[in-house]
Amino acid sequence: MPYAHTNRRGVTLYLHADSGYGDAFVFRERIGEGALDALPEGFEVYEDPNGRVRLVLEADGLVTDGHAQVVRSALQSTPYAEYYVEVVEDEIVILQPDWTRAELARFLGRPPGSLSVDEIRDNTHYAPIMCLEPTLDIDGHFALMRMEFGPIPGWSAPLLEGPLEELAAQLEPHLRDAVSSDF
């Protein structure tokens, strides 16, 4: 039986090798040629907040959910409290929602403040906007990067480097700049 993963939206996906699109592994809704019976060694399943599933290299454990919680806590008292923060492949990734809580409630015909976290996540698309990556030269230090959109999208050169707590406290103006420059 091929390796299967059911995503947060209830869709069962099957692991296949060689998608033909440059990825070595891909998840599909139907079992087809190239279906694999097990995860390849050294890989783990990653599901983003939008329910998309892919294989990633197993993390080295340099970054934990405790590190991500430092960033989540720093965002709680800012206009960016609705952003999603997660650990992906030993990086802390900050994802921007395409709706504010109020906009989503209005769209769904619900009173403001009536949506649960699960309802928000189920009805919102998230896109990566900033990343904090551990620096290898100083223990406990991270580099802050933003997502660059253009001919070659990806993470920028480091904007700041330093202890995670200090960077988390300085996130708000960088998020504001990143959001305003993308539109």
For residue 164, the cross-strand partners are none
Tens digits of residue pLDDT in 117-154: 777 777 888 889 999 999 877 778 999 999 887 788 88
Whole-model pTM? 0.74
Average pLDDT value for residue range 12-29: 80
pLDDT at position 15 is 92
The one-character DSSP state at 137 is S
pLDDT at position 183 is 35
Q: How confident is the model at residue 4 (pLDDT cuts 50, 70, 90)?
A: very high
Average pLDDT value for residue range 53-59: 81
For residue 88, the cross-strand partners are 91
Average pLDDT value for residue range 65-85: 88
Lowest mean pLDDT among 38-42, 86-90, 174-178: 174-178
Task: Convert 11-46 to b/e letters by CB count within 10 Å (16 or more is b).
Answer: eebbbbeeeeeeeebbbeeeeeebbeeeeeeeeeeb
Please determine, for residue 181, whether its predicted confidence score (pLDDT) is greater than 60. Answer: no
pLDDT at position 1 is 86
pLDDT at position 182 is 44
